[in-house]
Chains A and B, each alone.
Chain A
Amino acid sequence: MDLDKAHTLLTSKTPQFNTSSNFNQAYRQKLIENLSLDSQGRPFKIMVFRGSPKSSRKSIRFVDELRQEVAAIFEKDCKQTPYRCIPKGEKRVLDAPRLRNDYYSNIMSWGMNNILAVALGPELYLWNSEDQAVHKLLQVRGGNDWPTSVTWSEDARTLAIGYMCSNLQLWDVESSKLIRSLQGHSGRIASTAWNGHILTSGSRDKSIINHDVRAANSLASCIKRHADEVCGLKWSTEGNRLASGGNENLLYIWEASKMSSSKFLHRLSDHCAAVKALAWCPYQNNVLASGGGLSDGCIKIWNTEKGICINNIETKAQICGLEWNRHHKEILSGHGYSIRENQNKLCLWRYPSMTKVGELGNHKSRIINLCQSPDGITVISAGADETLRFWDVFGPPTAGAGNSMVSDLQGLLSFRTSLLR
């Protein structure tokens, strides 16, 4: 063994394989031959297919599309105004013992006189929001009758009370006297609504009765269209349309002038559960919001002129009340049972985008009713946990009309550009 030669070969850094490039060349030559001659050494013909035009669509890569989307969202976010602060807690909690846990009743009403009328079991109380004085108006004796529907008249002079036993009473609150008893129904009165001197009542006997409270024979018209209890009843702000929601999941729109003939304007069957929550939009004529019960859980916004649903949100929870915010373009929904989300909560939605703005939820069990203060700032929720909770959720009121225009301008001025990494 020649150790020196071995050592040189092993340690020398210069490549010794000068035959390698030749070898490579020969290999490549063979390869090229292979590629241009077939196995028998025959040359062949090469053709390219030009049969039909291939798609000339640009192949956009998914990554670029994603980048574009993200950039668009970012821009949109920049333009939005910082949202007003929504209070997390209630302003006040009132104890409401024996408040009936009944989805179908509407036992709360806040009159223009700043007095809240609320039925707790067989008793009806008046709470003055100015001095917080409490006064019991009436108590039903016997144990098998109680108020199921309470509504102040528009001028807050009269309080309409509907009962379990189908009685409908008008009370003068100042003198604490019963003025009138109206007959007509054969089942409990679940909902009532005032339209000037017309008092409309909806009952478990499936009928809607319009009473003219000035006339001796008060019964102006009786409509039998619903197939089940009429649990939701609301007159529009102008008083030309009435929305009635039933336990058979139907929502009817009626015209004031045509009510005597029982001809409805629209019959809307989109809901899959009882329609109790109804609220007319204060800033758009003929726009109605309706909320469905447990199996439905949808807030639907309707154009009652055409009878079409213009928006739909799935809240996945039983909706017991809807209140529009007069000061900002929002709507508040009160919820009861849910298998998934929003149980026992109040949800605030931006209108018309219907994006959820906030959530208030301190009720220990389901919310039964919602009502709004006359100044449009406070909302009360009556819960099955026997509490009345006051939320200052609709304020602060913005000064001047056209507040939506102001907020847009603010948004533009606060637009900040920043680099998207």
Chain B
Amino acid sequence: MASRTVAKDIITLRGSAAIVSEFFGYAANSILYNRGVYPEESFAKVKKYGLPMLLTQDEGVKSFITNLTAQLSEWLEAGKLQRVVMVIMSKATKAVLERWNFSIETDSDVVEKGVSREKSDREIMREIQAIMRQIASSITYLPCLDEPCVFDVLAYTDTDVPVPFTWIESDPKLIANPQMVKLHSFDTKIHKVDTLVSYKNDEWDEQ
């Protein structure tokens, strides 16, 4: 590959936190749409990451995600957030059907010393775009969610983080004997986000 100087942008801790929490907001919307947790008609198309992204128009869900990403951004800036998990459960039985796991690795140097890093914005966008495409195409192998579902968001933080008013301590809501698929990751040079989806084995699958 011919070497060329790609214009790099300066990424600060705050900027990186904003990128990651924004990513999570759009990813959550995409999962809710693609997995059919909410009816398709309740979503509207917007342009983001160079893709048509679908955002919910339901006021309740909108404010839920907004409040959530605000808190995540705060934790990211403090370097205390380790993982965000979106859990999809059956409304009737509350059994966990799917787990969308976003692991976060934070560069502790940046948090402690306040330095900034350099990376091309466009490259980060491209990496995120790849993940978004993978989420959308995941419906090809994920089992059909035939029943009405609800979702929850878990945050894995350092043990010294106080539990905020709007959160409560919880169990990890794991799936027994899950199937797992690892998706792409993206890196802002300050936060590295890995995506993994685990789901309950479909009855049709043979062991």
Same complex origin of A and B: yes
8 A Cβ contacts from B156-205 to A: 156-159, 161, 163, 166-174
Q: Give the chain B neighbours of A214 by CB distance below 8 A.
A: none
Q: Are B150 and A48 in contact (CB under 8 A)?
A: no
Cα A61 to Cα B159 in complex, Å, equals 41
Q: Taking the nearest CB of chain A, how far is it from the CB of B193, in angstroms?
A: 14
Q: Which of B39, B60, B159, B167 contacts A48 (CB 8 A)?
A: B167
Taking CB atoms, residues of chain B closer than 8 Å to A306 are none
B26 at interface, CB cutoff 8 A: no
Q: Which of A50, A59, A61 has the most CB of B within 10 A?
A: A59
Over the window 14-54 of chain B, the binary record of Cβ atoms lying under 8 Å from chain A Cβ atoms (1 yes, 0 no) is 00000000000000000000001111110000000000000
Which of A36, A44, A55, A60 makes the CB contact (< 8 A) with B60?
A55
Measured between beta carbons, the chain A residues less than 8 angstroms from B138 are none
**B172 CB contacts on chain A under 8 angstroms:** 35-36, 46
Report if A47 contacts B (CB, 8 A): yes
In the complex, B59 has a CB within 8 A of chain A: yes
Chain A residues with CB under 8 A of B149: 59
Do B163 and A49 have beta carbons less than 8 Å apart?
Answer: no
Least distance between B19 CB and chain A CB atoms (Å): 20
A7 on interface, CB distance cutoff 8 Å: no
A56 in the interface (beta carbon within 8 A): yes
- Smallest distance from the beta carbon of B67 to chain A beta carbons, Å? 4
The answer to whether B156 touches A44, judged by C-beta atoms less than 8 angstroms apart, is yes
| B37 touching A46, Cβ below 8 Å | no
Please tell me if A62 contacts chain B, counting CB pairs below 8 Å: yes
- Report the separation of the CA atoms of residues A32 and B83 in the bound assembly, to the nearest whole angstrom: 15
| Residue in chain A with minimal CB distance to B58 | A55
User: Which of B37, B105, B153, B173 sits near A49, CB closer than 8 Å?
Assistant: B153
Contact call B167/A59, Cβ cutoff below 8 A: no
Cα–Cα, bound, A52→B62 (Å): 10
Chain A residue with Cβ nearest B157: A45
Complex Cα distance A401/B36, Å?
56
- Select A45's contact among B67, B153, B159, beta carbons within 8 Å: B159
- With A45-B157, A46-B155, A46-B172: A54-B64 Cβ-Cβ less than 8 Å: yes
By the criterion CB–CB under 8 Å, are A54 and B157 in contact?
A: no
Least distance between B1 CB and chain A CB atoms (Å): 31
Residues of A within 8 A of B161 (CB): 45
A59 near B38: Cβ-Cβ < 8 Å: yes
Cβ–Cβ < 8 Å partners of A238 in chain B: none
Chain A: minimal CB distance from B115 (Å): 21
| Residue B61 is within 8 A (CB to CB) of chain A in the complex | yes
Type the 1/0 row for A45-74, where 1 means its CB is closer than 8 Å to any CB of B. 111111111111111111000000000000
Q: From A49, A52, A60, give the contact of B155 (CB < 8 A).
A: A49
Residues of A within 8 A of B61 (CB): 54-55
Expressed in whole angstroms, the Cα–Cα distance for A59 and B43 within the complex equals: 12
From B36, B39, B82, B167, contact of A38 by CB (8 A): B82
Contact assessment for A55 and B38 in the assembled complex, using a CB-CB cutoff below 8 Å: yes
Pick the contact of A54 from B40, B60, B169, B174 — CB < 8 Å?
A: B60
A59 and B36 contact, CB distance less than 8 A:
yes
Minimal beta-carbon separation of A66 from chain B (angstroms): 12
Residues in A with CB closer than 8 Å to B154 are 46-49
Question: When the two chains form their complex, are residues A50 and B168 in contact, meaning their CB atoms are under 8 A apart?
Answer: yes
- Chain B residues with Cβ below 8 Å from A62 are 39-41
Is residue A42 contacting chain B, with contact meaning CB distance below 8 A? Answer: yes
Given contacts A45-B159, A48-B152, contact A53 B168 (CB under 8 A): no
Enumerate chain B residues within 8 angstroms of A52, measured Cβ to Cβ.
Answer: 60, 63-64, 67, 166
Query: Could you say which residues of chain A place their CB within 8 Å of the CB of B68?
Result: 49, 51
Q: Is the CB of A39 within 8 A of B105?
A: yes
With A39-B105, A53-B60 known, 11 other A-B pairs at CB within 8 A are A43-B159, A44-B157, A45-B169, A46-B154, A47-B155, A47-B163, A49-B152, A49-B166, A50-B166, A52-B63, A59-B36
Q: What are 26 A-B pairs at a CB distance below 8 A?
A: A38-B156, A39-B105, A44-B156, A45-B156, A45-B157, A45-B159, A45-B161, A45-B169, A46-B171, A47-B167, A47-B168, A49-B64, A49-B67, A49-B154, A49-B167, A51-B166, A52-B60, A52-B64, A54-B150, A54-B151, A55-B59, A58-B148, A59-B149, A60-B39, A62-B40, A62-B41
Binding site for B on A (CB under 8 A): 32, 35-36, 38-39, 42-62
Which B residues contact A (CB, under 8 angstroms)?
36-41, 58-61, 63-64, 67-68, 71, 82-83, 105, 148-159, 161, 163, 166-174
* CB-CB nearest 8 A-B residue pairs: A55-B60, A48-B170, A51-B166, A47-B167, A51-B67, A55-B58, A49-B153, A44-B156
